[in-house]
Amino acid sequence: MSLIKGSDTKPELAVRRDLHKLGFRFRLHARTLPGKPDIVLPKYHAVIFVHGCFWHAHRCQQGRVPQTNSAFWKEKFLNNRRRDVRVARALRKDGWRVFKIWECHLSTPALREKSIAKVARLLRATQQ
């Protein structure tokens, strides 16, 4: 588990590659938008966050609070979750549709295909 929180992570690259293959065009890390979404699809009024399960405290194996310093991590996770909620709210208020893809849903090629197909379907279904 890498503790470096960076952009252009491997799962994110995979999502971009797959979306691109499906014909979607997008911008990256829009700094002017709340939360700097990983992927921005202006044509679809949509943004996508590829969330690391650890940092964003997903309810899965990887999102568990570490046993050491657990109070610190609980606080940290809670703050991260609150920030995610705030960011999503701000984006929706500005008319963006907000999609979230969890890293664990990209952990195998089959899961990844399923996750991305789902997002692609939702993007196209409600295109404005």
Q: Which residues bind Zn ion (CB under 5 A)?
A: 53, 58, 60, 102, 104
Of the pair 60, 65, the CB lying nearest Zn ion is at: 60
With DSSP H G I counted as helix, E B as strand and the rest as coil, what are the percentages for the chain, rounded to 5? 50, 15, 40
Nearest-10 Cα torsion for 78, 81, 87, 90: -80
Of the pair 41, 48, the CB lying nearest Zn ion is at: 48
> In sequence order, what are the residues at sequence separation of 6 or more whose Cβ sits closer than 8 angstroms to the Cβ of residue 101?
11, 15, 48, 49, 50, 51, 115, 116, 119
Of the pair 60, 122, the CB lying nearest Zn ion is at: 60
Q: Sheet harboring 39-41: ordered strands across?
A: 27-28, 39-41, 46-51, 97-102
Of the pair 16, 58, the CB lying nearest Zn ion is at: 58
Residue with tokens 């606080």: 75
